[in-house]
Amino acid sequence: MKWSEEMANYQALYTNLRQLKLDRFAEHLGYLLDHQDEAPKSLSDALFELTTAELKYREQKKINLRIKLARFPYEKTLADFDFSYQPGISQAIIEDLGSLRFTQENQNILFIGTSGVGKTHLATAIGIEGCKQGVSTQFIRCSDLINKLQTAQVQGRSEEVLRRYARFQILIIDEIGYLPIESVGAKLFFQLIEKRYERKSTIITTNIPLSKWGTTFSDKMLANAILDRLVHHAKVIRITGRSYRMKDHLIEKKDNSGPDLSGFSSQNKERSSETL
């Protein structure tokens, strides 16, 4: 076959592959042909290599789409987490959660700790693992969730929205406790947790002890009912370490002698101490 005919056939094949949406197959085809003299492959081996590349490409696209639709605040993995900075956290336990074994028994996870200790990072990292493994996952701030549920109720769509959030295999509800939840929102939140109870897995991050949830939900009995369902089948991870957000600040402070108070009067220094 003449070189011109070979090129024409190659171009026609490349076009066919693009029309069939075998994009990665098409991209790897040229490379494989260029190296055929150096590392010759049989037809079956070549097709296996090309189709494998295509399947991996398609799977990665699905993963990227699942991560996008999950609406994480950022993309961080367990590998990004600095366990040495939070030695109170068992790395083995967190890695086990990252295996998603907890979803097989519809268990929940509760991350409890002050602001900045890594609760959202860990919850997000586990959620991203879910996306990688094909598990339907959704991330939402607690305040946003309550607003969506209340708006839906006003519009007569509360049941529809409750069903939507109830269907995710992993639902991450972030930052419970930062803002108080009024009675209507608390009741809707309870309905959602009830729908998910022993059916799906819920991951919670909160900055307040569970004993104080009655104040957040404006109803101690309702808060207890919510906690009863969340904690019944749950891994409770309490984080008592330092804030990651203060990490660089603390390093900088350590390197410096501290703020210059020489220009302050003694009275101003006393006021400053009282404020701290």
Task: Report the alpha-carbon distance of residue 161 to residue 255 in Å, rounded.
Answer: 52
Q: What is the 3-state secondary structure (H, E, C) of the chain?
A: CCHHHHHHHHHHHHHHHHHCCCHHHHHHHHHHHHCCCCCCCCHHHHHHHHHHHHHHHHHHHHHHHHHHHHCCCCCCCHHHCCCCCCCCCCHHHHHHHHCCHHHHCCCEEEEEECCCCCHHHHHHHHHHHHHHCCCCEEEEEHHHHHHHHHHHHHCCCHHHHHHHHHCCCEEEEEEECCCCCCHHHHHHHHHHHHHHCCCCEEEEEECCCHHHHHHHCCCHHHHHHHHHHHHHCEEEEEECCCCHHHHHHHHHHHHCCCCCCCCCCHHHHHHHHHHC
Q: List Cβ neighbours of 65 (8 Å cut-off, separation of 6 or more).
A: none
Q: What is the CATH number of domain 78-250?
A: 3.40.50.300
Q: Looking at residue 74, what is its pLDDT?
A: 96
201: which 2 tokens? 């897995």
Looking at beta carbons, which pairs linking 190-193 to residues 24 or more positions away fall under 8 Å? 190/222, 190/225, 190/226, 191/162, 192/145, 192/149, 192/162, 192/165, 192/166, 193/226, 193/229, 193/230
pTM value surpassing 0.75: yes
Q: Would you write out the chain's pLDDT as a tens digit for each of its 276 residues?
A: 566 777 788 899 999 999 999 999 998 888 888 888 787 888 899 999 999 999 999 999 999 999 999 999 999 999 999 999 998 899 999 999 999 999 999 999 999 999 999 999 999 999 999 999 999 999 999 999 999 999 999 999 999 999 999 999 999 999 999 999 999 999 999 999 999 999 999 999 999 999 999 999 989 999 999 999 999 999 999 998 888 766 655 444 545 544 444 443 444 333 333 332
Q: For residue 156, what are its two tokens?
A: 């007569």
* Domain locations along the chain: 1-33+45-70, 78-250
Cα-based distances in Å from 113 to 26, 75, 127, 134, 184: 50, 21, 19, 29, 26
| 259 Cα distance to chain centroid | 38
